[in-house]
Amino acid sequence: MLPFRKIVFPVDYSEPCQAVAPYVHDMVGRYSAELTLGHAYSPLSALAHQELLVTDPGLEAKAAVLEQDKLREFARQMFPGIQAECIVELGEPGSVIDKLAQQQRADLVMLPTRGQGPVRRFLLGSVTAKVLHDVSAAVWTGAGAALADHPARIPYGSIVCALDDSAEAPAVLKAAASVASTYSAQLWILHVVPTPPEYPDIDLAEHTKQQIERAQRGLRELKSNLGIDAPHTVVDAVLSEGVRHELIRRKADLLVTGRGHSIGTFSRLWSHLYSIIRDSPCPVLSI
């Protein structure tokens, strides 16, 4: 997976998509990676081209040519000096991205999340959720509105790595250390001990204290085993809130965390990753 050698950037021409482009450009340069731009279009979008008629027997083929030309123009404008492969395909965006990532043997997929409204915000945005669940490559994403409303925070100067105590923690930490080294960034390590529910007749303070001490020992051992020298913090909080608070405190430019691969597909689907990404003030790289 690391170093990133093949990057896929799904393009929908939106403002959040354009806001991601500088991050993609920077990542391509840092890793001397190959870049593939992909665009999924629908039959209705094909009819949006005024040059085409519904009765045109070659509608689908002609629409593909027009979509290809549009994507190549986007590449010329957003990635000058970079030879990017441009691929357009008729289909549902999430499925097209997954297929493209497999075909290109991508190490990294970069895209904004587009969740809007109470329901879509909870679901993170259907395309991003599908990519996080289905794509085996690392996924870089961030809240689209936040990316579009702020200048790109690159190169990364402060990186936070959020770890749990699962079997994937060593791989996630190694990836975070590698990215931090590439960017000459300060790496901070975080473990959140979930705040237990309150019970009127039960004092869980001692239990929480033991959990924090165990997490402290685990992080010290993990860093020693991997030969990684970076400060770590253990906090007692609601998971997404604890991560967000640490990102703000460290003025983080990037969060690196896991995707729950070791937990299993069903659990990963309902993991805390979605809420972490929604609430994060900076982009999230999930390994």
Say yes or no: 187 and 67 in one domain.
no
Say yes or no: 104 and 189 in one domain.
no
Say yes or no: 94 and 176 in one domain.
no
Is 258 a member of any domain?
yes
pLDDT for 32:
97
SS3 78: helix
If one counts the domains in the chain, the total is 2
pLDDT for 200:
64
Which of 92, 116, 142 is where one domain is finished?
142
Say yes or no: 171 and 134 in one domain.
no
Say yes or no: 207 and 239 in one domain.
yes
Which of 110, 142, 174 is where one domain is finished?
142
Is 164 a member of any domain?
yes
User: What residue numbers bound the domain in which 102 lies?
Assistant: 6-142
Say yes or no: 174 and 78 in one domain.
no
Predicted TM-score (pTM) of the model is: 0.89
pLDDT for 227:
98
Query: What are φ and ψ of residue 280, in 5° steps?
Result: -70, 135
Is 194 a member of any domain?
yes
pLDDT for 126:
78
pLDDT for 271:
65
Q: What distance in Å separates the CA atoms of residue 247 and residue 77, rounded to the nearest whole number? A: 32
Question: Alpha-carbon torsion 134, 137, 143, 145, what sign?
Answer: negative
Q: What is the largest CA-CA distance in the chain?
A: 74
Q: What distance in Å separates the CA atoms of residue 199 and residue 197, rounded to the nearest whole number? A: 7
Q: DSSP alpha helices (H): ranges in 55-197?
A: 59-78, 93-103, 117-123, 126-134, 144-149, 169-183
Say yes or no: 106 and 189 in one domain.
no
Instruction: Specify whether the CB–CB gap between 145 and 28 falls below 8 A.
Output: no
CATH number at residue 246: 3.40.50.620
Is 134 a member of any domain?
yes
Is 148 a member of any domain?
no
Burial class (CB in 10 A: 0-12, 13-18, 19+), 154: middle
Is 206 a member of any domain?
yes
DSSP of 114-132:
---HHHHHHHT-HHHHHHH
Say yes or no: 182 and 221 in one domain.
yes
Q: What distance in Å separates the CA atoms of residue 272 and residue 73, rounded to the nearest whole number? A: 38
Is 147 a member of any domain?
no
Say yes or no: 138 and 166 in one domain.
no
Q: pLDDT of 135-191, one tens digit each? A: 999 999 988 767 777 788 899 999 999 999 888 899 999 999 999 999 999 999 999
Say yes or no: 101 and 218 in one domain.
no
Which of 113, 142, 171 is where one domain is finished?
142
Q: What distance in Å separates the CA atoms of residue 159 and residue 162, rounded to the nearest whole number? A: 10
SS3 224: helix
Q: What distance in Å separates the CA atoms of residue 188 and residue 231, rounded to the nearest whole number? A: 6
pLDDT for 26:
97
pLDDT for 123:
43
Say yes or no: 227 and 259 in one domain.
yes
Q: What one-character DSSP code corresponds to residue 154?
A: -
Positions of the chain with pLDDT under 70: 43-59, 114-125, 145, 196-204, 261-271
Say yes or no: 78 and 129 in one domain.
yes
Is 152 a member of any domain?
no
